[in-house]
Chains A and B, each alone.
Chain A
Amino acid sequence: MFRRRERVSDPVTIWFCDRAIEAAADDSVAAALLAAGIACFGRRPVSAAPRAPFCMIGNCFDCLVEIDGETNLQACLVPVRGGMRIRPYPGYEPGNDIKMSEL
């Protein structure tokens, strides 16, 4: 969906599930994931429909992720840090349709 205008001069590696992603040191987590082509940051609690960032300024809460075990973080507001481990929140893997109430 998005690509970088320039090559990353100071790359850091972050992880989304088991996937290593090259991010720029000053990216937000959301920007880094979008630049890597991640299209699903988690699932909605009612229908398990996929969600991804909508507003990028901390108002839509569709970018909520889990980072290094801490949950409910808005990916658009959190800067990346090398080695960060990011997972969709709540804990659905992309493509997994299990609803919260079925877990």
Chain B
Amino acid sequence: MRHLDIAVIGGGLLGSAFAYGLSADGGRVGLIDEGDHAIRTARGNFGLVWVQGKGLSMPDYARWSRRSAYAWTPFSEQLHAQTGISVEYHRPGGFYVSLDEQEFADNLALLKQLRNEAGEDGYDYEIVERSALREQLPEIGPAVPGATYCPHDGHANPLKLLRALQEGFQLNGGVYTPRAKVTRIAPVTAGGFEIHCDGGHRFGCDKLVIAAGHGSVELGHHLDMEIPIFPVQGQVVVTERAQMTMAYPTNYVRQTDDGNYLLGPSARDVGFNDETETTTLRDITRRCTTAFPHLKHLRVQRTWAALRIMTPDGFPVYLQSEAYPEAFSFSCHSGVTLAAVHATDVSRWVLDGQIPSRYRCFHPERFNVPA
């Protein structure tokens, strides 16, 4: 049985960010992961590092997202310096494009409310009418009435991010164990935990972080933690590479550094079904070609469906077990945006042994679930 100072369960964007951040501290950190054929939400990300529009009724979340967006710069630079991998983070600001007047009005109303809730803290955005929008996004479609712009918004390459986090983690001395689905977590009377996995792997650890995506629900039960998350299926359409023309990420479409366009978003409530569905794909392309007609002639290179982690109010669920305070669990659907604070702030919480009280707002008790 292998002994670890800290075990992180889950090798997706959250788990890998925690493993990376924790391993920088010098202790013996293990990242325990399933194999190639599991839910693997991390493979279905759009790549936005996004601030605008977030945090309705929870200004703390708006602040958390903005904090992460600005932490992204040193975070991505450090990853690059250490691993040689550029995660292609750019923060030119982002546009939330509306396809018709109603959508535009709804978006403006939302942002106005967010600004009211933010009070002195402020909530940065600009309204960009169609004529001005065409200067920044020349391919914008004729039906689009306008957009809102936020300077804090950006995008990155989520697959390169995942790879860089895992490489950085291993360069820091971390140990990655794939094909080790956790079947049981047993608290040890003297402290710490024993982790049993299929394939015969066993680990002992002093501290534990459960960041196993949808798998966290079941694992949390081993330690009396209720983690209220459920799947929402999102599909993405990826085009072939094209000339680099889109300088800004938007809510519907972004162009990667390789030249591919990603088209989204969508949301379906289909349980754990991760198959694509034709009319959903069609509707994605319809919306995105309304926004950007020049995409029409591009080949659809591939499509994807992923099971996003959703909480009842859409905000993260961060908790520490009451019965076993050395065990933590973190879940959220914005694994890309929050990767920077996960690798820094949240890792520090785990090392210090406590989630600071000001982040109690993310505790699932807000849903009246038993602690």
**So, do A and B actually touch in the complex, CB under 8 Å?**
yes
A: residues with CB less than 8 A from B are: 45, 70-72, 90, 100-101, 103
Q: Considering only CB atoms, which chain A residue lies closest to B259 in the complex?
A: A100
Interface residues of B in 226-245 (CB under 8 A from A): 240-244
B259 contact set on A, CB distance < 8 A: 45, 100-101
Task: State A100–B258 Cα separation when bound (angstroms).
Answer: 9
By the criterion of a CB under 8 Å from any partner CB, how many residues of chain B are at the interface?
11
Over the window 239-269 of chain B, the binary record of Cβ atoms lying under 8 Å from chain A Cβ atoms (1 yes, 0 no) is 0111110000000000001110000000000
A101 contact set on B, CB distance < 8 A: 244, 257-259
B134 proximal to A (CB < 8 A): no
B297 contact set on A, CB distance < 8 A: 70-71
Contact between chains at B299 and A45 (CB < 8 Å): no
A-B contacts counted at CB < 8 A amount to: 21
Interface of B is mostly: loop
B298 contact set on A, CB distance < 8 A: 71
B244 contact set on A, CB distance < 8 A: 101, 103
Task: State A72–B258 Cα separation when bound (angstroms).
Answer: 18
Report the minimal beta-carbon distance from B153 to chain A, rounded to whole angstroms.
23
B240 contact set on A, CB distance < 8 A: 45, 72
B: residues with CB less than 8 A from A are: 240-244, 257-259, 297-299
A70 contact set on B, CB distance < 8 A: 297
B299 contact set on A, CB distance < 8 A: 71-72
Task: State A45–B244 Cα separation when bound (angstroms).
Answer: 13
Given contacts A71-B297, A72-B299, contact A103 B243 (CB under 8 A): yes
Report the minimal beta-carbon distance from B322 to chain A, rounded to whole angstroms.
52
Task: State A45–B301 Cα separation when bound (angstroms).
Answer: 13
9 contacting pairs across A/B (C-beta < 8 A) = A45-B240, A70-B297, A71-B297, A72-B240, A72-B299, A100-B241, A100-B242, A101-B244, A103-B243
